[in-house]
Structure 1
Amino acid sequence: MTAKAVAPVMGEDMPILIGLNREELAAAMAEVGVPERQRRMRASQLWHWLYVRGVSDFSYMTNIAKDLRAKLAETFSLARPEIVDEQISVDGTRKWLFRFPPRGAGRPVEVETVYIPEEGRGTLCVSSQVGCTLTCTFCHTGTQKLVRNLTSEEILSQILLARDRLGDFPDATTPQGTVVPSEGRLVTNVVMMGMGEPLYNFENIKKALLIASDGDGLSLSKRRITLSTSGVVPEIFRTGDEIGCSLAISLHAVNDELRNVLVPINKKWPLKDLLEACRNYPGLSNAKRITFEYVMLKGINDSNKDALELVRLLKGIPAKINLIPFNPWPGSEYECSDWERIEEFSDIVNRAGYASPIRTPRGRDIFAACGQLKSASERMRKKDRDAIAVGA
């Protein structure tokens, strides 16, 4: 199938069908004159082509009449984001820089998306915002001011285009030499751990992830979709109740004094409130544990005392603790803990009954590792955006 190779690049000229739910797709069919009794059926056909077959050209939708395909092509777009850059790490990790339309930012915006191949699974790290408001001091993304939220379509498009590039749709071929799981689907897991704080963009995230987990479409298991938050407490319960995905907490400290520095959102929602929200997460059980992410910073949060306090804090919460060796970036003041220190920290947590795997750094050579993602996008000043609008 060659449709994906010549996919149109996303623009703002026509509405894009990607990211619409079933009801909205049916409403879109009304705009091109589809009789009411046929709209649900046509919407189901489109859904199949978009999310099962991965088609980005109406002409390939062979079970839809030619005249209707022509009307759809005249009215709507299936465009993918522009690929500005694609980098491949020595360990097989891939990082894409995707460009989206301005949509209020004044100029086109860019985000980074990362694919991490492992034995038995392939994990796609998806961005939710252009930039970030949180200013976590160990995170490179936090040095980029928030430009805007991504739409549900832009969130889904990262998944679709990654699967395009990997050959993960039916009738597609994986590029020779690409590092992928040896069998099965190539994108098996999605983690909302890219640029931005997902729970500051809740409605678009919810819409995108419900489409991604729909059993008749992309069909990603909700247990294989993980949303990571720095602690937007009011939206945590809604995440479990309305989306039903797995939850990860960007923790990184065991007391409010340090977490206020590392993760400043803690000043608004301190550890007591955050952990209470975790205990009340819908569906929480030993089979559905919360993942706590803990970046290992030399001399900052990596002592045996910190490990013991971490165990005490999480008592009663079904949890897994991911220990993340700090990934350096230009200008950072932090250093990664020594490997022996990380292992001793992990041993203490393990002995207390918690799984505490040490995350293997991936894609460091292309700045694709945890905490390293950033784009050059900036929001234009309002007067400059207005000048462009007048000129257009």
Structure 2
Amino acid sequence: MTASAPVTQDVMTIPRKLPEGGKINLVGLTRDGLRAVLIENGTAEKQAKMRTNQIWQWMYQWGVRDFHAMTNLSKAYRAELDEKFCVDIPETISRQVSEDGTRKYLVRIAGGHEVEVVYIPETDRGTLCVSSQVGCTLTCSFCHTGTQKLVRNLTAGEIIGQVMMARDDLDEWPQPGVSTADAPPRLISNIVLMGMGEPLYNFDNVRDAMNIAMDGEGISLSRRRITLSTSGVVPEIARTAEEIGCMLAISFHATTDDVRDKLVPINKKWNIKELLDALRAYPSLSNSERITFEYVMLKDVNDSDADARRLVKLIAGIPAKINLIPFNEWPGSPYERSSGNRIKAFSDIIYNAGYASPIRKPRGEDIMAACGQLKSATERARKSRKQIDAEAGLDGS
């Protein structure tokens, strides 16, 4: 697959300097970016690499935010850092805990916007579902997040900051001086970019945040422990393998273009054939690194035996597994969940064709934290800006 120009969206960006006090936030900078900003603000170039490594380890391996606690730096240098920089992550506004142990966080980012983050505990692991945008531009008709308009992309710092926030809440940071190898078993063993937004419409920030998460001297997650879910931004799929190298999941959900156009409108831009062609060309594709096809089960829409058989034919030749997702209903949803028997029959057809077809157990439904249910509380409750302006007489009428 040939390289193509990045796909971008017209979204608001955040300046490097924070409004409060004018300090520069170091969270989310790449190693090269951190080194550059230290040099720009007075660190001797000969020392910058060492200082970058030291600060990086304090922030991302041990979760330390106070420069004065970074004890392998001189007191004078710590004071200089504190004067010019900060280590800020999104602010936790609320935390809800489901009956099944799932945690849903509402976090506030720059500009007063809010996004949702979900932690799903398992017996032998824990998965953090991270957001990449405020709202979403894709308007997938079965997804609650898709009913919230896109506000802006998250910065790399706001994305990796969600991971840092959850590690705070779970008390998962090793004590300073303790290596990652010697730390207790991870509570956050996996990251999935399946929260609010389309990650590949915010590629650069997602890439930088995930490279921070994978850095061996910091959070140190294996690339196989990170899964990026896309609805099918075809031009960015090869870049995902080349510049991030993580696992890939596809929000597929239909076996004909007519149905997928309605469920996942991005299909009108890049149809099923174009998407599957890009997946077949995905670098390093193998049986050990299968692509996950996510398929939400909607009653009388996409759940027939014929759909299951078409799905098997469509993905022929692609090392894959198919996650079947019972539809998670939300207020005003136009769809219903397929019955358990229908989902089981669909799964059996796929399994008998040689593909793993696990049926995902809904998690966190009681706190609206399940797949497709995320939509920030303030956006649910808040009047639209147009409504507010109209009531204030600012809409030009």
Q: Kindly report which structure 2 residues correspond to 1:122-271, keeping only aligned pairs within 5 A, or say none.
A: 122-171=126-175, 184-271=185-272
Answering whether residue 62 of structure 2 is matched by residue 58 of structure 1, we say: no
Task: Identify which of 25, 28, 31 aligns with 1:19.
Answer: 28
Aligned position for 1:346: 347
Match of 2:285? 284
Aligned to 1:71: 80
Counterpart of 1:195 in structure 2: which amino acid? M
Partner of 1:374: helix, strand, or coil? coil
Shift of 1:380: 5.6
Secondary structure, counterpart of 2:224 in structure 1: helix
Contact in 2 for aligned 1:296/1:337 (Cα 8 Å): yes
Alpha-carbon separation, structure 2, partners of 1:30 and 1:244 = 30
**Matched residues in 2 for 1:29 and 1:252: separation?**
47
**TM value normalised by structure 1:** 0.89
Superposed counterparts of 1:300-311, under 5 Å: 300-311=301-312
Unaligned runs of 5+ in 2: 1-16, 177-183, 390-397
In the alignment, the residues of structure 2 paired with residue 32 and residue 316 of structure 1 have an alpha-carbon distance, to the nearest angstrom, of: 53
CA deviations on 1:12-49 (whole Å, 9 max, x unpaired) are 33220011111121122224422211110000000100
What is the aligned length?
Answer: 359
Letter in 1 for 2:19: E
Letter in 2 for 1:130: V
Distance, in Å, in 2 between the alignment partners of 1:50 and 1:161 is 12
Contact preservation (8 Å) 2:27, 2:89: no
**SS of residue paired to 1:306:** helix
Classify the secondary structure of the residue corresponding to 2:25: coil
C-alpha deviation, 1:59, in angstroms:
1.6
One-letter amino acid of the counterpart of residue 236, structure 1: I
Listed one character per residue, the Cα deviations across residues 222-272 of structure 1 (whole Å, up to 9, x for unaligned) are 011000000000000110111100000000000000000000000000000
Say whether residues 1:84 and 2:110 are aligned partners: no
Q: Output the TM-score relative to the length of structure 2.
A: 0.88
Aligned 8 A contact 1:128 1:150 in 2: yes
Alignment of 1:369-380 (within 5 A): 369-375=370-376, 376-377=378-379
2:114 to 100, 110, 116: 110
- Following TM superposition, the consecutive aligned residue runs of length 4 or more in structure 1 with deviations greater than 4 angstroms are 377-381
Q: Is the 8 A contact 1:32 1:72 kept in 2?
A: no
In 2, Cα distance between equivalents of 1:246 and 1:349: 21
Write the distance in 2 (CA, Å) between the matches of 1:316 and 1:26.
45
CA contact (8 A) 2:132 2:202 kept: yes
Counterparts of 1:123 and 1:39, CA distance in 2: 35
Deviations along 1:290-335, whole A, 9 cap, x unmatched? 0000000011111111111110000000001000000000000111
Distance 2:114 2:75 in 1: 35
Query: Tell me, what secondary structure is at the counterpart of 1:39?
Result: helix
CA RMSD of aligned residues (A): 1.6
Q: Say which is worse superposed, 194-203 or 29-38, in terms of deviation.
A: 29-38
Partner amino acid for 2:55? Answer: L
Q: Contact (CA 8 Å) 1:293, 1:321: kept in 2 or not? A: yes
SS in 2 for 1:124: strand
Q: Within 1, Cα distance between the matches of 2:165 and 2:73? A: 24
2: CA distance, partners of 1:196 / 1:320:
23
Partners of 1:139 and 1:11 in 2: CA distance: 33
For structure 1, the residue ranges without an aligned partner over 5 or more in a row are: 1-9, 103-107, 173-182, 385-392
Question: Does residue 57 of structure 2 align to residue 48 of structure 1?
Answer: yes
Candidates 37, 43, 46, aligned match of 1:37: 46
> For residues 257 and 246 of structure 1, what CA distance do their matches in structure 2 show?
28
Deviation at 1:337, TM superposition (A): 0.4
* SS of the residue 1:350 aligns to: helix
Output the CA distance in 1 between the equivalents of 2:296 and 2:45: 54
> Which amino acid counterpart does residue 323 of structure 1 have in structure 2?
L
The aligned residue for residue 358 of structure 1 is: 359
- The 1-side partners of 2:236 and 2:152 are apart by 19
Whole-Å Cα distance in 2 between the matches of residues 33 and 271 of structure 1?
53
Query: Which residue number corresponds to residue 395 of structure 2?
Result: none
The alignment-based identity, stated in percent, is: 62
**3-state SS of paired residue (1:201):** helix
- The residue type equivalent to 1:117 in the other structure is P
What secondary structure sits across from 1:269 in the alignment?
A: coil
